[in-house]
Each structure stands twice: as C-alpha cells, then as structure tokens.
Amino acid sequence: MFIGHFAPALAACAATEEAPKLGTMFIAAQLTDWAFFLFAMGGIEHLRLTPGITAMNPLDFYHYPLTHSLAGTSAFAIGFALIVGIALRNFIAATWAGLVVMSHWVLDFVSHQPDLTIAGGEKHYGLGLWNYPIAAIVVELLIIGLAFWWYVRRTKGPIVPPLVLLAFMLVFQAVNWFGPEPQTVGIPFLATGLAAFAILTLIASWVASTRWHRNEVGLHRASPPL
C-alpha cells in the first residue's frame, strides 16, 4: 500500500479542526516508512528483491523490526505524538498524530504478506492483499477516494490545491503499480521513495495553507485565503 497510507491523514484532518495540519499528518502516515528507508540506507534494516513473493511487487521486507513491528510502530507513534503535543500544546492533536502513525501498521497488516512482527520475534503476520491485485487496487483507491472526498467536504477553500495533491498521488501510485519493476533496491531506489514522500508532504502542506475546517469560526476565516 502506498497512497492508501495517506487516507487516515486526510480523514483525521476532516474529522476535527484540532488535528495537526495536513502536511504534518502526511509525515505521520508514512513516518515508519521514512525511518525504514533511512535505516535501510544505513544497513540497520533490510529489504531485497524476491520475484514472485507477492503478485503485485517483488519487494521482500525480510528484516525491519524497529520500524514495522507493532512495538516499533507504537514507539514511533508515541514519540511523534509527544513532539506534536509539545509543539502545539494540544493533547487532542497529539492523539490524532499518534493514531495516524499507528494506522500504517494496520494497513500494512492488511496488504503485506506475513512479514510483520509484534516485537521482532519469529512469528510473522500479514493478510496478503497484495496477492490479489484487483482487490488491492480497488481497496487502495476506495479508501483514498473516500478520505479525500471527506476532507474536501469538511474543509473550505480553493479546490485546485487538493485536486493537484490528488493528481500527484494518483500518478505516483500508477507508477508504483504499472511502472517497470525495480532491478535493485540500493540507495537510488530508496532515495526515490523518500523523494516521493517529500513531494507529497510538501504539496499537502500547501493544501493545508489554503483550506480551513468548516468548524473553525471567526473573522479571520470570513473569506478564502489567497
């Protein structure tokens, strides 16, 4: 799952005006993948190419207990929630940020083959949705589509920025699904993934700067931002 991970970020920002800004939530949604790619660059965690390991891609995430075990993801969620809570002085915002970080493990559990652990042990978990390409594509498009619709419905502002964000997400996802399979998983591959995360996060930050939640009131929200 790729852009589907951003669905909880959009949904959280739609649910309440107390959620952190969309750019922050995009970081939360992929925080453990940010960490994993950086750790893989440093040889701390590992992936490899194993053609046929799933029907949708050949990536074998055979060692990532720090970022993708349930315990590891929970630690990242707590740490990120603390940072957000201290920065914003808002317990509710911190809670939402932590929940979005945790959503990553849940969505990976649905989509990955059994390669996730509870705390880095021998037993692995995963429902393997990636072995059913049509179902995986439908599920990913459905959850991101619904979350995007809810976000736009629950916020006010120009429609063009969120449509630009959606277009970029769909293009990146199409490349992920239908582009050529990677030949190596070295630093260039990992850096490309990080660049994709960064681009989407920057666009999400721009979107957040142009929109506000419908529950927000006051003279400063009397007209759309420029």
Phi, psi at residue 213, to the nearest 5°?
-70, 145
* Residue 124, Ramachandran bin (φ over 0: left; ψ between -120 and 50: alpha; else beta): beta
pLDDT in tens, 65-98: 999 999 999 999 999 999 999 999 999 999 999 9
Torsion region of 130: left, alpha or beta (phi above 0 gives left; psi -120 to 50 gives alpha):
alpha
Q: What is the mean pLDDT of residues 152-173?
A: 97
* pLDDT tens, position by position, 30-53: 999 999 999 999 999 999 999 999
In this structure, the chain runs to a length of: 226
Packing angle of the helix pair 22-29, 7-15 (nearest 10 deg): 140
Are 56 and 136 in contact, with CB atoms under 8 Å apart?
Answer: yes
Tokens representing 68?
């993708």
DSSP helix, strand, coil percent of the chain (3-state; round to 5) = 65, 10, 25
pLDDT digits (tens, 9 = 90+) for 129-160: 999 999 999 999 999 999 999 999 999 999 99
pLDDT value at 203 more than 70: yes
Record the tokens describing residue 190, joined without a space: 């990992």
Tokens 């619904």: give the residue: 146
Mean residue pLDDT of the chain comes to: 94
Over range 15-40, report the average pLDDT. 97
Give yes or no for a contact between 67 and 32, defined as CB atoms under 8 angstroms apart. Answer: yes
Residue 134's pLDDT is 97
Q: What is the maximum alpha-carbon separation in the chain?
A: 58
User: How far is residue 128's CA from residue 93's CA, in Å, rounded to a whole number?
Assistant: 32
pLDDT of residue 223: 43
Q: What is the DSSP secondary structure assignment for residue 60, as one 8-state letter?
A: E
Contact 64, 39 (CB under 8 A): yes
pLDDT at 216 over 90: no
Whether the model pTM is above 0.75: yes
Q: Residue 215's pLDDT band (boundaries 50, 70, 90)?
A: confident
Q: CA-based angle 196:97:151, to the nearest 5? A: 70
Mean pLDDT to the nearest integer, 94-110: 98
The predicted pLDDT at position 217 comes to 63
